[in-house]
A and B are shown apart, each in its own frame.
Chain A
């Protein structure tokens, strides 16, 4: 009786969160899944096509191009956001004076609107009037000059760079907080046992912040899967799909090409990739940890 009473009592506390989660997460996803089984232009009646949209996706070269682009973004995010974020945080943890200043400065880009960052970089990259090529000229690096947004070899990286740069600070701050929680005695005793800096880092610090590391990897991957703002502002995903990502392609398909059903199928694939990655990654990490 008491247990039932307690269950009702505790349920009351989680109910608001459940309602919010259902309304703003579960319900839209379910609706998207429903739309993905239809051919619909958003205005006239829906036509049920079953898995037809998914079959079309599999055969769609443009879709796989944006999947590859997104894959590259994920790879660079893991290296430069998570990897570099961790390295910078580790170094920053050792700074005695002014580390709060550096932490604040590193975090500033995170709080700026992605649209503003995208606009700034689109001006930056303009090979005719932008400062980047002029800077390369002044550094006697004229051979490095490119048409950054019109060159097939550079446009994707040019679009990825600002979004990767913008959020490095977020991971620095997260890792810094985690590293600062590592008991000093553990690090000291490792040093006293003759462990060098890298051994201390990998064998003492990393195991302590392993959970935080996993969360950051998942954040970086899922954030990359949702990437939209920078690419939209800088190039609209073009030329063609050269600098487009899955979320941007979904937007263009649904709201510019009026293919809500097909766009919803892309949305479900984003969800599937995120869920699959999270599951596999957690399993691998659990095995590694054991």
Chain B
């Protein structure tokens, strides 16, 4: 019997090994379970279906459309936008939607990883400028918008200004549909200023006086941090444009690759001076990035802040009531009136995967979906969460946040000048600019070293 039980054991072992191999094969096969596919660092959420690891293609008779976006999570626009997505999904049972939501800047990384893996979503939101779009254009991954517009039932070129289109222009062709515009605005806590008998500063000297009083009372004068260049890169451009040829030089960067200009040097020196004068929080890294920067202002630990529409929904209502929009003071040596312009551009556009568009089974569904995203209905709804639509359209003021209306009114007559990201053509160079801004704001590098370092990165990219 011993040899029989040994034989039985061997057979059982063979069966077990075969089962393990079969299980392994099943586990490694392409399936719709869980989060296979794109290796994004942040969690993916979805209004309904789980993200699919497969790219283009249909499942059965249904068309599958993968849409990636970043108005999700803590973004105030999320609930409005994702609510609309759910509605559209419910109305189109013939389409299997895979919504891939990745918050904030991580969405940019997700799209890059997807692109590298040959797994670009069918349609996705993305940022402006050659630094973001040129690699996708060079690889022939994204659709030229004229092709979409020729098929669209509702979206017309004339609904957007030439300036809005220009942010998605690569080599004379447009590769994104402008979606979200933005304009910066400076906010001041009226009650804090009144408490210490201070006036809103108009000059740098007044700013330093105001700063001294606030610092003596444990209040940060101006909440501006820098973590991976957020949000300092926008403020830095604002400072640079106060100086002679600041904006003109920025516009020429795609041709000249010249970041080291008189205006940029002066802006860097202004940042160092402001840090020395205690204008910023003492820890610009810990207070860097959008959330921590606004948090200081929301908690009334900072008197002023530089904000943008995507943060409007995060400003506490009681703080909105105490907030006035002001002009930033003119810096010493500046020639441009700081009240005459604001930093602004089109922040995000809608891009379409060229291969997906050329799939006859998907084309109409993609066109219809893109039309839906750009409809007045959706943009008007998302405006409640702070979206400034890039499309020229009327918004119902009664549905908008009071701060939104204030910001629109305050900036309506200002020139809208895009920040440097719109012009820098190389992603590595721009990455150096952003990380070096952290060093400049933290006082790790001198203004001269900041400019020299960033210029070297651009020279390398030439």
A44-B138, A128-B301 known; A239 vs B286 contact (CB < 8 Å):
no
Q: Chain B's nearest CB lies how many Å from the CB of A246?
A: 16
**Chain A minimum-CB-distance residue to B19:** A16
Residues from chain B with a CB closer than 8 A to the CB of A148 are 283, 286
Q: Chain B's nearest CB lies how many Å from the CB of A6?
A: 10
A258 in contact (CB, < 8 A): yes
Q: Looking at the complex, which one of B141, B285, B435 makes contact with A150 (CB distance below 8 Å)?
A: B285
Check A150 against B138 for contact (C-beta < 8 Å): no
Check B136 against A43 for contact (C-beta < 8 Å): yes
Q: Chain B's nearest CB lies how many Å from the CB of A36?
A: 14
Q: Which of B289-316 contact A (CB under 8 A)?
A: 292, 295-296, 299, 301
Complex: how many Å from CA A147 to CA B282? 6
Check B281 against A235 for contact (C-beta < 8 Å): no
Complex: how many Å from CA A238 to CA B225? 12
Q: Which of A229-265 contact B (CB under 8 A)?
A: 235-242, 252, 255-260
Residues from chain B with a CB closer than 8 A to the CB of A149 are 283, 285-286
Residues from chain A with a CB closer than 8 A to the CB of B249 are none
B88 in contact (CB, < 8 A): no
A15-B17, A125-B286 known; A239 vs B442 contact (CB < 8 Å):
yes
Of B95-103, B109-117, B165-173, B345-353, the segment with at least 4 beta carbons within 8 Å of chain A is B109-117
Complex: how many Å from CA A239 to CA B432? 11
A127-B283, A148-B286, A150-B285 known; A257 vs B431 contact (CB < 8 Å):
yes
Check A260 against B116 for contact (C-beta < 8 Å): yes
A9, A127, A257 — which one has the most chain B CB atoms within 10 A of its CB? A257
Complex: how many Å from CA A152 to CA B284? 12
Check A126 against B287 for contact (C-beta < 8 Å): yes
Check A238 against B438 for contact (C-beta < 8 Å): yes
Q: Which of A9-38 contact B (CB under 8 A)?
A: 9, 12-13, 15-16, 19-20, 23
Check B286 against A130 for contact (C-beta < 8 Å): yes
Q: Which of A95-152 contact B (CB under 8 A)?
A: 122, 125-130, 147-152
Check B439 against A239 for contact (C-beta < 8 Å): yes
B28 in contact (CB, < 8 A): yes
**Chain A minimum-CB-distance residue to B110:** A255
**Chain B minimum-CB-distance residue to A42:** B116
B187 in contact (CB, < 8 A): no
**Chain A minimum-CB-distance residue to B223:** A128
Q: Chain B's nearest CB lies how many Å from the CB of A136?
A: 14
A278 in contact (CB, < 8 A): no
Residues from chain B with a CB closer than 8 A to the CB of A252 are 431, 435
A235-B285, A239-B438 known; A12 vs B17 contact (CB < 8 Å):
yes
- Compute the total of residue contacts between A and B using a CB distance below 8 Å: 129
Complex: how many Å from CA A95 to CA B332? 68
Check A126 against B292 for contact (C-beta < 8 Å): yes
Interface size on A, residues (CB 8 A): 41
Q: Looking at the complex, which one of A130, A150, A241 makes contact with B442 (CB distance below 8 Å)?
A: A150
Given A42-B135, A238-B438, A238-B439, 5 other A-B residues pairs in contact with their CB atoms under 8 A: A43-B116, A129-B299, A152-B442, A239-B444, A252-B435
Q: Looking at the complex, which one of B24, B287, B435, B439 makes contact with A19 (CB distance below 8 Å)?
A: B24
Complex: how many Å from CA A147 to CA B285? 9
Please name 18 pairs of A and B residues whose Cβ atoms are closer than 8 Å in the assembled complex, sorted by A.
A12-B17, A23-B28, A42-B135, A43-B139, A127-B281, A127-B282, A128-B286, A129-B295, A129-B299, A147-B283, A150-B284, A152-B442, A236-B435, A239-B441, A242-B444, A256-B109, A257-B431, A258-B135
Q: Which of B406-462 contact A (CB under 8 A)?
A: 427-428, 431, 435-436, 438-439, 441-445
Check B24 against A128 for contact (C-beta < 8 Å): no
A222 in contact (CB, < 8 A): no
Check B296 against A255 for contact (C-beta < 8 Å): no
Q: Chain B's nearest CB lies how many Å from the CB of A1?
A: 16
Complex: how many Å from CA A258 to CA B226? 22
Per-residue interface assignment for chain B, residues 107 to 125, with 1 indicating a CB less than 8 Å from any chain A CB and 0 otherwise: 0010011011000000000
Complex: how many Å from CA A148 to CA B141? 43
B361 in contact (CB, < 8 A): no
A269 in contact (CB, < 8 A): no
Smallest CB-CB A-B distances: 9 pairs: A42-B116, A239-B438, A257-B428, A238-B438, A149-B285, A43-B139, A150-B442, A126-B286, A127-B283
Q: Chain B's nearest CB lies how many Å from the CB of A248?
A: 11
